[in-house]
Chains A and B, each alone.
Chain A
Amino acid sequence: MIELRKDQLVFRFPEVHRDAVLRIEFQRTLRIPDDGKNYPLPPGLGRFPVRHVDDFAGRVPPRWVDHGGVMLPMYQSEALWVNFSASYPFAVKVATGKIDAVTGKELRPDLARRPQNYLVTPSQPWLDGYCIEKGVIRQFVAMPLGAGYSAEEQITGEAEWGGLQLTVYPMTAEAYERWRSREARYLTASGMVAGMPMARAALGMDMGLAPGGRMRQEIFADPHHLEDWDQDHTARCFVHLANSLVWRHVTGHEPPTVPPTAKEYAQAGLPWFEYYGAGETAVAGSGILAKLKSVVQMGKEKGDVPVPENETVTPGPIVELRKGLAKDEVREGRF
């Protein structure tokens, strides 16, 4: 079952194990420059507000109600990252417009190994974009669905789904008991800093995610056996992305302000992040996703200016985050 609590999706599988609880939230962040350079991880600027689509059934497109799930507001060219918090292992599939963000293939209901079409929590604390190379992703950037930028439109030629789709598979209780006896618990956390207002233009209500700038982030290979995942107990959620400019009309509430630009953030000397796992191996990037045009590349071809600015920046102080801290070592989150 999935609950929406304080803008977090809480996936619970009490029928599998009482500890089988996964929290997923969507973090606001700055858009890194789309200039061919590999950037470190940008900060989390707080959670996006998330609402049940059913609560606004008369004001959202009817197909959103058909899809069920939830919605959150994004401005054109705004970026997002997905944060996972769990002490119980889960396999998680993340798709945008029903295109798998790890493999670039159409979303399918089962877990596959070659290539791996899912992430494993808690070792994977977050996902910021499309896996294009081993250790490199292209940031998730919102663009109006139908404008041709989204990964879905570039791969399928159609703007049918948009949004972001999550499918969660808990570990079987037996595998969990074995895993727990050898693994220390690990938790993720994130904080927030205030955003800064800035005017942006946007098109329709329905947004899709498109590949933005390059970022150093590894998608870890699954260290468990495929049969350790309970594929009979899954939960899935369609996360609709509503243009922030219509969020107030739909919900009666103001959307969050536009986040600072990468330049403003870097000039303020605020920290960026690098995450190091504890000996995990990374999966290879997807050839399909690597061939996609980034938002800026596509904009040039179309003669559009899809992002308001795209200056190269020099990231300020870089905070190293490591899994498996030594005793007495203070853990710093991503904020």
Chain B
Amino acid sequence: MAKTFGDYVRKRREARRETDDAFSVRQLAQRIGVEPSFLSKVERDEVPPPSEAKVVALARELGEDPDVLLALAGKVSSDLQQAIRKRPELFASLIRELKHMPDHAVLRIVREVRDGKW
């Protein structure tokens, strides 16, 4: 499994390129608005990951979850930052409480659509 942001992006891009030439470094860089040489350096982890907007654009192009890619880039999306800043103590303790819980238990606290009698 890829451990770094660059490695992950490169592996995902190369996987897409196997069936689609639009996923060359040059073409992908053009679509997200960066220089091909920069994207190439990002993939080799020679430079830090790009800005939040570029990471989100990259996620969209690669069909990846933006939050997953942002986390790999060591970033937290601005809407989440805003939510945490509003109630820092609550969210900090919530995340600490949840960090060892299995996925299905964490998903239980996401607001579900309630089913009733019908």
Q: List A residues at the B interface (Cβ < 8 Å).
A: 1-4, 9, 12, 14-15, 18, 52, 54, 65-70, 98, 161, 165, 187, 235-238, 327-328
Given known pairs A14-B103, A14-B104, the reply for A65 and B116 (CB within 8 Å) is yes
Best-buried of A14, A66, A70, A328 by chain B (most CB within 10 Å) = A14
State A300–B107 Cα separation when bound (angstroms): 51
B21 touches A3 (CB 8 A): no
B110 touches A98 (CB 8 A): no
Instruction: Write the chain A residue with the least CB distance to B19.
Output: A327
CB-defined A-B contacts under 8 Å, sample of 13: A2-B112, A2-B113, A3-B113, A9-B113, A14-B103, A15-B104, A52-B111, A65-B116, A68-B118, A165-B118, A237-B113, A237-B115, A327-B19
Given known pairs A327-B19, A328-B21, the reply for A68 and B107 (CB within 8 Å) is no
B117 within 8 A of A: yes
Q: How far is the CB of A176 from chain B (nearest CB, A)?
A: 17
Which residues of chain B from 65 to 118 have any CB-CB distance to chain A below 8 Å in the complex?
Answer: 103-104, 107-108, 110-118
A3 touches B115 (CB 8 A): no
B114 touches A54 (CB 8 A): yes
Q: How far is the CB of A270 from chain B (nearest CB, A)?
A: 26
Given known pairs A3-B110, A327-B19, A328-B21, the reply for A238 and B116 (CB within 8 Å) is yes
B104 touches A69 (CB 8 A): no
Q: How far is the CB of A241 from chain B (nearest CB, A)?
A: 14
Q: How far is the CB of B113 from chain A (nearest CB, A)?
A: 4
Best-buried of A1, A15, A18 by chain B (most CB within 10 Å) = A1
Please give, as numbers and ranges, the residues of chain B lying within 8 Å of A15 by CB-CB distance: 104
- Compute the total of residue contacts between A and B using a CB distance below 8 Å: 57
Those 10 A-B pairs whose CB atoms lie nearest each other, nearest first = A68-B116, A2-B113, A68-B114, A67-B118, A67-B116, A68-B115, A14-B104, A1-B112, A66-B116, A14-B103
A68 touches B113 (CB 8 A): yes
State A236–B114 Cα separation when bound (angstroms): 9
Q: How far is the CB of B3 from chain A (nearest CB, A)?
A: 20
Please give, as numbers and ranges, the residues of chain A lying within 8 Å of B116 by CB-CB distance: 65-69, 238
Q: List B residues at the A interface (Cβ < 8 Å).
A: 19-21, 63, 103-104, 107-108, 110-118
Please give, as numbers and ranges, the residues of chain B lying within 8 Å of A165 by CB-CB distance: 118
Q: Given contacts A14-B104, A327-B20, list 16 more A-B pairs with CB under 8 A.
A: A1-B110, A18-B103, A52-B113, A54-B114, A65-B116, A66-B117, A68-B114, A68-B116, A68-B117, A69-B114, A98-B118, A165-B118, A235-B115, A237-B113, A238-B115, A238-B116
Please give, as numbers and ranges, the residues of chain A lying within 8 Å of B107 by CB-CB distance: 1, 12, 14
State A236–B19 Cα separation when bound (angstroms): 36
Please give, as numbers and ranges, the residues of chain B lying within 8 Å of A12 by CB-CB distance: 107
B112 touches A238 (CB 8 A): no
Please give, as numbers and ranges, the residues of chain A lying within 8 Å of B118 by CB-CB distance: 66-68, 98, 161, 165, 238
Instruction: Write the chain B residue with the least CB distance to A2.
Output: B113
Instruction: Write the chain B residue with the least CB distance to A185.
Output: B63
State A18–B65 Cα separation when bound (angstroms): 14
A3 touches B19 (CB 8 A): no
Q: How far is the CB of A281 from chain B (nearest CB, A)?
A: 27
Best-buried of B104, B112, B113 by chain A (most CB within 10 Å) = B113
State A187–B16 Cα separation when bound (angstroms): 14
Please give, as numbers and ranges, the residues of chain A lying within 8 Å of B21 by CB-CB distance: 328
State A117–B115 Cα separation when bound (angstroms): 21
Instruction: Write the chain B residue with the least CB distance to A9.
Output: B113
Instruction: Write the chain A residue with the least CB distance to B105.
Output: A14
B112 touches A67 (CB 8 A): no
Best-buried of B19, B20, B110, B114 by chain A (most CB within 10 Å) = B114
Please give, as numbers and ranges, the residues of chain B lying within 8 Å of A67 by CB-CB distance: 116-118
Please give, as numbers and ranges, the residues of chain B lying within 8 Å of A65 by CB-CB distance: 116
Given known pairs A14-B103, A14-B104, A328-B21, the reply for A3 and B114 (CB within 8 Å) is no
Please give, as numbers and ranges, the residues of chain A lying within 8 Å of B115 by CB-CB distance: 2, 68-69, 235-238
